Structure 1
């Protein structure tokens, strides 16, 4: 008796596992979202912040996402150049209806007194609602000041700050530039000592290649210098009420926890139905053959 119970239990477990696998495979062929017991939870607005200025974070209904880069340096030359950090930001601001143009002009006039400039801007009106974009370039030492000022102009929905450490690249480029300058000086001395046309042409070609690489490096150094001395802030301005962020309730968490076992149960049920549907024709066929042989055996007797 005990042995039969163990055999039955093993058969039941194997049946559940097989039905789960078959059901999961079957779900891959049909619309899972349509038959799932619990629909997938919607995307939630995640807030991750590392803002040093607490004044911005005290504003209710505002969410900030700060992406900060790590600073790494393994060169002794870094001390002479200083850290080279490219720091930019993107900010979404909602203002009350009727205050868009006033806020737009305030932002445009904010950057000039601090040594910055507006490098791109536009706005439009759709269904009596204004929206626009302003791209400003400001000195890096005025970055926090500007972010705080922008925070006073309206309701901030998103704030993303990115920092990229280019110190290593800057040091490498300067080292490479020194080598190229020395190489150019050496080639120039050889050019003065050349005695044949072929030597003149060959050395001159080498000098041109070196000069071309020098110009490329200087261009990259100028780019790094500009972007580390100044910060770019992209401002998306819109009139109206900022959409509310989605908060996760305890019921949402419970629903997410129950989603896996419930869907696993659904997989098993579907798999079991698939197995039954697959086995029914074969069972009927086997029963028919058995009945036919049994009838033939009885007729012979």
Structure 2
């Protein structure tokens, strides 16, 4: 009995020892396979540095200053449009800007011949409000002389950041191509690398030019101004009577009346016609049937009176 217990104890110890070694063997196998297997190369240090550089770029791009291209359009009535145009040109130079284009012409209406002028300028964006206020002051009637005014802005920050990223990637590719060309001894391969290097450099220059345009457009706002002579838009006045105003009001009333009639007809055709058409058709057929019946009766009556009267024969009297 003791012998059997001893054998059983030895077997149990062997099983426990095997189970205790199994996890250690499995752990050693995984560790060796993940680090020492020849088919899986170790991650190079350069790729880790590149990841850190990209992370730093993403953080920096979030703080990119907004680039907004601002544009303003104004239409102002002045005493002398040509003189106002030259005043705006001088103002642009004083504010650190420049003139893009300018034009003056003459126009004729029922009141006579008048001058008109237009000018487009670029000025620093931070001075846009100052420049627009100076242009308003050129008006002959103050704020009433500003016939129209509008401002708009286009955010090009995303376009600028994307272009900058493309330039950086192309410059990195350019450096690799230069290293490859220096280490290549074959003439044919050298020419292929040179052509690719030239194409990459051209693309970089184009993208840098686009970035420069975006920066300059965002830093220099454009103002387009159209000057008209005050006398050309001023109504005719004779002894306090303004026939132009009266004619304009009369024309407006005529348009309002015509619009009201058109609205009534449109509402009538949409709301009432779907119901009136069936009723009209029914009334038409009923009237037609009644007329037909009356005509038939009239024919019968005419035929009746047209017959000759029937005279009964008179028997001769008998003589006694």
Common topology (TM > 0.5): yes
2:191: which partner in 1?
Answer: 201
Measure the CA separation in 1 of the matches of 2:270 and 2:187.
Answer: 83
Q: What is the correspondence of 1:66-105 to structure 2 with a 5 Å cutoff?
A: 76-78=59-61, 81-96=64-79, 99-105=80-86
Measure the CA separation in 2 of the matches of 1:101 and 1:276.
Answer: 69
Q: What is the correspondence of 1:80-229 to structure 2 with a 5 Å cutoff?
A: 81-96=64-79, 99-127=80-108, 128-154=113-139, 155-229=145-219
**TM-score of the superposed pair, with normalisation by structure 1:** 0.59
Return the structure number with greater helix share: 2
User: Alignment length, in residue pairs?
Assistant: 205
Q: What is the correspondence of 1:21-32 to structure 2 with a 5 Å cutoff?
A: none
Output the aligned Cα RMSD.
3.5
Measure the CA separation in 2 of the matches of 1:152 and 1:90.
Answer: 16
Q: Does 1:268 align with 2:235?
A: no
2:315: which partner in 1?
Answer: none
Aligned CA distance change for structure 1 residues 279 and 216 (closer, same or farther; 3 Å): farther
Measure the CA separation in 2 of the matches of 1:205 and 1:265.
Answer: 76
Deviation at 1:95, TM superposition (A): 1.2
Measure the CA separation in 1 of the matches of 2:151 and 2:124.
Answer: 15
Tell me the secondary structure at the aligned position of residue 115 of structure 1.
Answer: coil
Deviation at 1:141, TM superposition (A): 1.4
Unaligned runs of 5+ residues in structure 2 are 1-57, 140-144, 236-258, 294-320
Unaligned runs of 5+ residues in structure 1 are 1-74, 245-255, 292-301
**TM-score of the superposed pair, with normalisation by structure 2:** 0.56
* CA offset digits 1:25-64 (Å, max 9, x no partner): xxxxxxxxxxxxxxxxxxxxxxxxxxxxxxxxxxxxxxxx
Q: What is the correspondence of 1:218-297 to structure 2 with a 5 Å cutoff?
A: 218-240=208-230, 263-275=266-278, 283=285
